[in-house]
Amino acid sequence: MAAPSSLGADAVMRVEGLTLGFGSKIIQHDLSFDVKRGSIFAVMGGSGCGKSTVLKSMIGLLRPKAGQYDVQGESYWDASAERRTEIGHRFGVLFQSGALWSSMTVGENVALPMQMFTRLDDHTIRRMVTLKLALVGMLHAIDLYPSEISGGMRKRAGVARAIALDADILFFDEPSAGLDPITSARLDELILTLRDGLGATIVIVSHELPSLFAIADDGVFLDATTRTAIAHGAPRELRDHSDDPQIHAFMNRNAQQTDGNA
Ligand SMILES: Nc1ncnc2c1ncn2[C@@H]1O[C@H](COP(=O)(O)OP(=O)(O)OP(=O)(O)O)[C@@H](O)[C@H]1O
């Protein structure tokens, strides 16, 4: 479908005046931003400001209280439930824990979405699983169980599952949480490969500022007090050029802390 003129040709998602909350509690209001095709877009901000809530709404798990969310120029929340499911097939999601089924091997975990949502035969699924695992450098672990692999490997397996159905829009919630700096840097490289090799658009929620400085092209900074966005831009630009004291302190404090740990 062609993008309407109001949506920039390079924007794959547009959030406009979005208000999110639970019951009568407003978490964020009046959020507006575009996510450009083939970019890595960071949702930033302090603990509890609503980053995961924004992600939750963008993947279709939380209906906004107000505002507009367009995917490829189509209003997501005005679409029927059936249509939203179709749009959702473009989404691949990596949850914070990696969230693999512990009773299934890595290969079976990656095969699961294909078995659930396609009519591919077992042989084709096995070949696809092999391809996806090779892409994330995890082919050697195809027959291992999640308990037999490291946290970093579980994240990679989670990425393979997120791209199992050829999703072109990926959502990563704290992908480097709990990983050591080297494993985290390798995961960053994998995320860049997904953008550059597959042309994926990636929305990422992360506290790991060094990782965001290294990979994110654009982003939004959410404030817990005013409950709205107080800055837009690439994390490294906000770090280097923001004259907002709060953003400056946030970006630089965290960078120094992590530099010290590395
Ligand atoms: N299902 C829910 N019902 C009610 N309140 C919720 C629900 N989920 C989250 N919240 C509240 O929404 C606020 C934002 O939470 P959210 O997890 O989106 O923040 P976050 O920025 O991702 O936090 P963190 O950085 O700590 O992971 C918090 O006050 C949280 O308690």
Ligand 1 pocket member 24 (CB < 6 A): no
Q: Which ligand 1 atom sits nearest the alpha carbon of residue 54? A: 18
Domain boundaries, the chain: 38-59+89-261
Task: Give the global pTM.
Answer: 0.88
Site to probe by mutation for ligand 1, drawn from 53, 56, 171 as the one with most ligand atoms within 8 Å of Cβ, is: 53
Confidence of residue 9 (pLDDT cuts 50, 70, 90): low
**What is d(CA 71, CA 84) in angstroms, rounded to the nearest whole number?**
10
Q: Which band of pLDDT confidence, cut at 50, 70 and 90, is reported for residue 8?
A: low
Cβ–ligand 1 contact at 220 (below 6 Å): no
* Tens digit of each residue's pLDDT (9 = 90 or more) over 10-27: 889 999 999 999 999 999
Complete DSSP assignment for 37-65: TT-EEEEEESTTSSHHHHHHHHTTSS--S
Q: Could you tell me the two tokens for 200? A: 């994926």
pLDDT band of residue 255 (cuts 50, 70, 90) is very low
| Average pLDDT of the residues in 163-192 | 86
- d(CA 165, CA 118) in angstroms, rounded, equals 9
Q: For 136-169, what is each residue's pLDDT tens digit?
A: 888 899 999 998 988 888 888 888 888 888 789 9
Q: To the nearest whole number, what is the mean pLDDT of the chain?
A: 87
Give φ, ψ of 178 to 5 degrees. Answer: 80, 0
Confidence of residue 182 (pLDDT cuts 50, 70, 90): confident
| Mean pLDDT within 29-57 | 94
Higher pLDDT pick, 116 / 33 = 33
Rounded Cα distance between 77 and 61, Å, is 11
* Residue nearest atom 5 of ligand 1, based on CA coordinates: 22
Question: What percent of the chain has pLDDT above 70?
Answer: 92
Ligand 1 centroid from CA 58, angstroms: 15
Residue 39, φ and ψ in degrees, nearest 5: -110, 165
26 Cα to the center of ligand 1, angstroms: 11
Q: Which residues pair with 22 in a beta bridge?
A: 25
The answer on pLDDT for 259 being more than 60 is: no
Q: Is 50 in the pocket of ligand 1 (CB under 6 A)?
A: yes
pLDDT band with cut points at 50, 70 and 90 for residue 1: very low
CATH tag for 38-59+89-261 (out of 3.80.30.20, 3.40.50.1980, 3.20.20.140, 3.40.50.300): 3.40.50.300
> What residue spans of the chain are helical by DSSP H?
51-58, 81-88, 106-117, 122-135, 151-162, 181-198, 209-215, 235-241, 245-261
